[in-house]
């Protein structure tokens, strides 16, 4: 596609349920990032993929959070046993291969998660 | 100390004035610096990148970098009400690919 695509755009869930958020990066972009943005706050780094591997998972807040990427394209962020503090917009971004870019990220429109 | 710090604002400027947005960073070996603009309810979009000390101009926007002082700024000339948004400073270190964002500065341009 032309841009980074994320789904669902909005998700309301009950505390304790599991959720899956999907990201489809720009075609040819080898790097993929997940960030979290709570209301009125900045972007909090969660995880970075280069191809299918995740060299930096340092931002995942707890073991309830996991992410995978298959086929150097689609990525899924899974949050198990959701808590109210998980409520936020989850932003996915991709960037072209090293050497062909200067490191800028292209963001999707985000998935807004509300945990009741 | 936060890795990337910005004044949260809001910074209010009249239409046509110069808006000056500032950012400091803690990792001395950082190499790449970015300014993103985020309209309310929208995702961030890149407006400027800078990699060397000095100024870089693009239209009404000028990014300034001073690595010795670990300081990055963004100047917006002839500010317009459509420039009203949150401006996010982002820094990429020498090692790894993580882009660390500041909390953002809210800019309000009043007509």
What number of C-beta contacts closer than 8 Å exist between A and B?
55
| Residue B37 burial (10 A CB sphere; 0-12, 13-18, 19+) | buried
| A26 vs B31, higher pLDDT | A26
Residues of B in contact with A48 (CB under 8 A): 96-98
Nearest to B88 among A42, A95, A102 (CB): A42
Low-confidence ranges of chain B (pLDDT < 70): 1, 94-96
Residues of A in contact with B98 (CB under 8 A): 33, 45, 48, 56, 58
| A51 vs A79, higher pLDDT | A79
pLDDT of residue B98: 83
pLDDT of residue A71: 76
Residues of A in contact with B97 (CB under 8 A): 31, 48, 50, 55-56, 95, 98, 103
pLDDT of residue A100: 54
pLDDT of residue A77: 98
CA-nearest residue to B40 within chain A is A40
In eight-state DSSP terms, residue B77 is S
pLDDT band of residue A101 (cuts 50, 70, 90) is low
Report CB contact under 8 Å: A105, B46: yes
Q: Sign of the CA dihedral B46, B50, B55, B58?
A: negative
Share above pLDDT 70 across residues of chain A, in percent, rounded to a whole number: 94
Residues from A in contact with B at Cβ < 8 Å:
31, 33, 35, 41-43, 45, 48, 50, 55-56, 58, 91, 95, 98, 102-110
- What tokens were used for A37? 């943005």
- Identify each DSSP E strand in B3-98 by its residue range: 4-6, 11-14, 19-25, 32-38, 45-50, 54-58, 61-66, 71-76, 85-92
| A110 vs A70, higher pLDDT | A110
Q: How far is CA B44 from CA A7, A31, A85, B70, B77, in A?
A: 17, 17, 22, 23, 21
pLDDT of residue A70: 87
pLDDT at A76 over 90: yes
Report CB contact under 8 Å: B43, A108: yes
Nearest to A43 among B96, B97, B101 (CB): B101
CA distance B36 to A48: 19
Residue A11 three-state SS? strand
Q: Are B37 and B85 in contact (CB under 8 A)?
A: yes
Q: What is the mean pLDDT of residues A42-56?
A: 90
């Amino acid at each position: 596609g032309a841009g980074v695509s994320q789904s669902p755009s909005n998700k309301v869930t009950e505390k304790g349920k599991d959720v899956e958020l999907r990201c489809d990066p720009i075609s040819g972009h080898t790097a993929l990032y997940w960030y979290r943005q709570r209301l009125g706050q900045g972007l909090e780094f969660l995880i970075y993929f280069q191809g299918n591997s995740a060299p930096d998972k340092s931002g995942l807040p707890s073991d309830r959070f996991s992410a995978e990427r298959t086929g150097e394209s689609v990525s899924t962020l899974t949050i198990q046993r959701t808590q109210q503090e998980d409520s936020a917009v989850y932003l996915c971004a991709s960037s072209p291969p090293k050497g062909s870019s200067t490191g800028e990220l292209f963001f999707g429109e985000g998935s807004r998660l509300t945990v009741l | 100390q936060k890795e990337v710090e910005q004044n949260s604002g809001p910074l209010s400027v009249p239409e046509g004035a110069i808006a000056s947005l500032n950012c400091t960073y803690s990792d001395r070996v950082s190499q790449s610096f970015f300014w993103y603009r985020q309209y309310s309810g929208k995702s961030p979009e890149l407006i400027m990148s800078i990699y060397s000390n000095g100024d870089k101009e693009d239209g009404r926007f000028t990014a300034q970098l001073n690595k010795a002082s670990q300081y990055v700024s963004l100047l917006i000339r002839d500010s317009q009400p459509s420039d009203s948004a949150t401006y996010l400073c982002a820094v990429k270190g020498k090692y790894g690919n993580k882009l660390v964002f500041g909390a953002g500065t809210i800019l309000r341009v009043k007509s």
